[in-house]
Amino acid sequence: MIILRLDRVMADRKISLGELSEKVGISNVNLSKLKTGKVSAVRFSTLEAICRALDCQPGDILEYAPDEEPED
């Protein structure tokens, strides 16, 4: 499972959703979906713009957590 940590990075940088939306050039609605993890894909160009605006690396925003295996 991929976990989006955009909210954490935004809080660390003290930047609002509206401010980041302006810098990145995507709508508040789409950015909000990214922030809450309600997306199934992210374009590299969007990820690049977010990293540029927040001065961070993709790994600061995205985290991999293995799915728990069901018990036998």
pTM of the model: 0.85
User: For residue 26, what pLDDT is reported?
Assistant: 93
pLDDT values of the chain reduced to their tens digit, one per residue, 72 residues: 889 999 999 999 999 999 999 999 999 999 999 998 898 899 999 999 999 999 999 999 999 999 877 666
Please return the burial class of 37, using the count of CB atoms within 10 Å of its CB with bins 0-12, 13-18 and 19+.
middle
Does the structural domain 2-55 have CATH classification 1.10.260.40? yes
Amino acid identity at 18: G
Tell me if 50 sits within 8 A of 20, measured CB to CB: yes
Domain ranges for the chain, please list them.
2-55
User: For residue 1, what pLDDT is reported?
Assistant: 87
User: For residue 22, what pLDDT is reported?
Assistant: 95
